[in-house]
Amino acid sequence: MIPQKKLFKPWLIAVVLLAAACSDDSQSNNSETLAETKSDVLIPQALPYSIVNQFPHDVGAFTEGLEYHDGFLYESTGQYGQSELRKVTPETGEVVKSVKMESRYFGEGMTILNNKIYQLTYKSGKGFVYDLETLKQESSFVFSNAEGWGMTNNGTHLIFCDGGNVLYFAQPGTMQIVKQLNVTDEHGPVNEVNELELINGYIYANQWRSERILKIDTTTGKVVARADLNGLRESAGIPQFSGRPGQPDVLNGIAYDAKKNRIFITGKNWPKLFEVRLDN
């Protein structure tokens, strides 16, 4: 047995004091780390909006997907028994071509990639591929998400969401997921990300049941800016959301004309399509 007194040595005191000093240093470092973490939280920039133009929009269109291509808007509409894929003249709202979906499908997000239109359905786990020119349905695909919401693409992959805060990057056709991006802002995950549009390298998304448009960094998933479009409906004479059938529903639909740098916004059953300026 080692005598107890032999454990009490001056070097041991030095070690204890050193440990205490290190502990203080460590706390100090932690404080600095916390401060850095706090300063790293990105407060999204506020994006002011202005209305550039107002065009007619079919109040019968429960807009779920909207994209601009070569002079026309392509629109996917929802509701069982009413879902369609449409080709629309933006300035007049005229539907120049449309295909009706089977009544068991509820149309959702859509996007155009390599002269094909990809369209999600809401709860069927199935999507469709159409020829861009004829709108003829060419094939279908399946996906494992419980719900399909918005969709856009980056020239290579389809990018879609399912009601949560995740953006899924998928191979067209197989729907194999190659990347997932969590959308977050200064408060944490941002859920119910809905209709999507890739504009100048950022994903713009409207958030379901809000009049907000989020600008999302495609590398980090962080919301870098937000446009609050509260007041847009009022200024255009569109009644506020009431939930009553036949009345204008929520804001949904973002499309971008890259050649003319025009952003189009509309909503489900809205009588108007807006050309707006954000930071474009």
- Site residues for Ca ion, window 26-55 (CB under 5 A)? none
Q: By rule CB under 5 A, what string of x and - marks binding of each residue 54-93 to Ca ion?
A: ------------xx--------------------------
Find the shortest distance in angstroms from Cβ 196 to Ca ion: 6
Regarding beta strands 137-142 and 193-199, do their DSSP bridges make them parallel or antiparallel, or are they unpaired?
unpaired
Comparison of 117 and 232: residue with beta carbon closer to Ca ion: 117
Find the shortest distance in angstroms from Cβ 228 to Ca ion: 19
Select the span of 75-83, 116-124, 195-203, 266-274 touching Ca ion (CB under 5 A).
Answer: 195-203
Residues in binding contact with Ca ion, number by CB under 5 A: 4
- Interface residue with Ca ion, options 58, 108, 162, 197 (CB under 5 A): 197
**What are the backbone dihedrals phi and psi of residue 137, each rounded to the nearest 5 degrees, phi first?**
-70, 125
Comparison of 217 and 247: residue with beta carbon closer to Ca ion: 217
**Which of 93, 111, 114, 146 lies closest to 256 in space, CA to CA?**
111
Q: By rule CB under 5 A, what string of x and - marks binding of each residue 249-268 to Ca ion?
A: -----x--------------
In sequence order, the β-bridge partners of residue 73 are 68, 88
**Which of 129, 107, 121 lies closest to 173 in space, CA to CA?**
129
- CA 148 and chain centroid, separation: 12
Find the shortest distance in angstroms from Cβ 67 to Ca ion: 5
Find the shortest distance in angstroms from Cβ 150 to Ca ion: 7
Q: Which residues of 176-206 are buried (b: 16+ CB within 10 A; e: fewer)?
A: ebeeebebbbeeeebeebbbbbbbeebbbbb
CA dihedral of 34, 165, 196, 250, whole degrees rounded to 10: -110
- Site residues for Ca ion, window 117-176 (CB under 5 A)? none
Comparison of 23 and 197: residue with beta carbon closer to Ca ion: 197
- Do residues 144 and 127 make contact, with C-beta atoms less than 8 angstroms apart? no
Say how far apart CA 79 and CA 81 lie, in whole Å. Answer: 6
- Rounded alpha-carbon distances, angstroms, from residue 119 to 49, 183, 207: 29, 22, 19
The answer to whether residue 108 forms part of the interface with Ca ion (CB under 5 A) is no
Find the shortest distance in angstroms from Cβ 245 to Ca ion: 25
Query: Which residues contact Ca ion by CB under 5 A?
Result: 66-67, 197, 254
